[in-house]
Amino acid sequence: MKVVRNGEAQRAPRSGIARSAGPAADLPLDTILRGDCVAALSRLPAASVDLVFADPPYNLQLQGELKRPDDSRVDAVDDAWDKFDSFQSYDAFTRAWLLAVRRVLKPTGTLWVIGSYHNIFRVGALLQDLDFWILNDIVWRKTNPMPNFRGRRFTNAHETLIWAARQPEAKGYTFNYEAMKAANEDVQMRSDWLFPICSGQERLKDEAGHKVHPTQKPEALLARVILSASKPGDVVLDPFLGSGTTAAVAKRLGRHFIGVERDAAYADAAQARIDAVEPLPDLALATAPTAREAPRIAFNSLVERGLVTPGTMLTDAKAKMRAMVRADGTLSLETAPGLGQIGSIHRAGALAQGIEACNGWTYWHIATGEGLRPIDSLRAVVRTEMAMAAE
């Protein structure tokens, strides 16, 4: 398979053009642009893309064939697109595509770039030189890494992803914190992710049974990236589309995609793969709202709706502190410290503990047939009712 580096991006077919107003007008949505990524990106409107995932050449610098101890050949990455004359030429290539990406990213957009120890440090330095703002580095730990056949180094069992905002003062970028926390059993998602490398039925192969692309990424990895840093309807760009993992996952998750790929065989395989994807239903794609996005609910509204009756006793989680609910939604403390004082759920909680501030929604509990429950669970009931009414 011969791959060259010079070439022009073909114009997207007119049927793939979005006609929305503003910077997104004339975006070739859900299209693979065939050609050089820098040339292709130069034709996109500035500040029009929400998320970029880039899997550039790693510049592995392999010297000769790689063999197993039994002298069998390892199917390693030795394609022309991964070979550069020097680190300086690789840096120039990286700088060019990063500048092109930076131009098309919205001010609220973010970039993910993946690499190995061969290239990721050079990419990271250039990101900072170009005024991107690094938000996180993520370690992708592979459950089934390729062993070090020569036995001269540690097994390379991870790759690194850098997540960066367009500029240091960037605000408003998407991070679906609650969704990631919920996906991690209600514990904050960490920056080390455990996934297997792409294998089995997910691995694309040609008619002869050979890998279509040597570095195909697992869909689970891309799903986490896209779910964490974009919203349904957003535009996801992959300037090195390869076998099409980014586009396939974006389509399935209700995002638009734009892919750039210069190798015809890769682009054809990616297009066939994308065409076979069925998007998930809208209800399955709704993003969990953040605490700031959720509608504000006053404790008094729970009283007005009859979810809490005036005269009900609330307690802390250990049932040591008690407060009576008043008709106006305030609480009257029934235990010291603060005995007899009246205030909001937050003020009463602070007085009960002798502290300056308190989140009354999580501090105060109500007795139910299943034991004590935080009153925040009742607020969730009201929010659900409001959401259903809005539909």
Q: What is the pLDDT of residues 303-349, one digit of tens each?
A: 988 999 999 999 999 999 999 999 999 999 999 888 999 999 999 99
CA nearest neighbour of 375 among 321, 324, 307: 307
Q: What is the pLDDT of residues 358-374, one digit of tens each?
A: 999 999 999 998 899 99
What percent of the chain is helix, strand and coil (3-state, nearest 5)? 30, 20, 50
pLDDT of residue 216: 85
What does the block give as tokens for 172?
């408003």
Least confident of 122-131, 159-168, 296-305: 296-305
The answer to whether 2 and 264 have CB atoms below 8 angstroms apart is no
Q: What are φ and ψ of residue 231, in 5° steps? A: -125, 155
In the chain the beta strands, taken as DSSP E runs, fall at 31-34, 49-54, 105-115, 133-142, 158-165, 192-195, 235-238, 256-261, 313-315, 322-325, 331-333, 342-343, 365-368, 371-374
- HSE-up of residue 251 (Cα within 13 Å, Cβ side): 19
What does the block give as tokens for 313?
């006793």
CA nearest neighbour of 216 among 228, 231, 200: 200
* Pairwise CA distance, residues 67 & 64, whole Å: 10
pLDDT of residue 23: 46
Q: What is the pLDDT of residues 103-156, one digit of tens each?
A: 999 999 999 999 999 899 999 999 999 999 999 999 999 998 878 777 788 998
What is the mean predicted confidence (pLDDT) over 284-300? 76
pLDDT of residue 119: 92
pLDDT of residue 66: 43
* Pairwise CA distance, residues 142 & 178, whole Å: 25
* Pairwise CA distance, residues 214 & 216, whole Å: 6
Least confident of 76-80, 145-149, 157-161, 206-210: 76-80
pLDDT band of 390, cuts 50, 70, 90: low
* Pairwise CA distance, residues 176 & 181, whole Å: 9
pLDDT of residue 270: 93
Which residue's entry shows tokens 């510049």? 59
Residue 18, pLDDT above cutoff 60: no
**Residues sharing a CB contact under 8 Å with residue 204, sequence separation 6 or more, in sequence order:** 211, 212, 213, 216, 243, 269, 273
DSSP 8-class letter at 28: B
What is the mean predicted confidence (pLDDT) over 244-270? 95
What does the block give as tokens for 353?
């503990």
pLDDT band of 24, cuts 50, 70, 90: low
Residue 247, pLDDT above cutoff 80: yes
Q: b/e map of 252-269 (b: 16 or more CB within 10 Å)?
A: bbbbbbbbbbbbeebbeb
- Pairing mode, if any, of strands 365-368 and 133-142? unpaired
Q: 102 or 16: which carries more pLDDT confidence?
A: 102
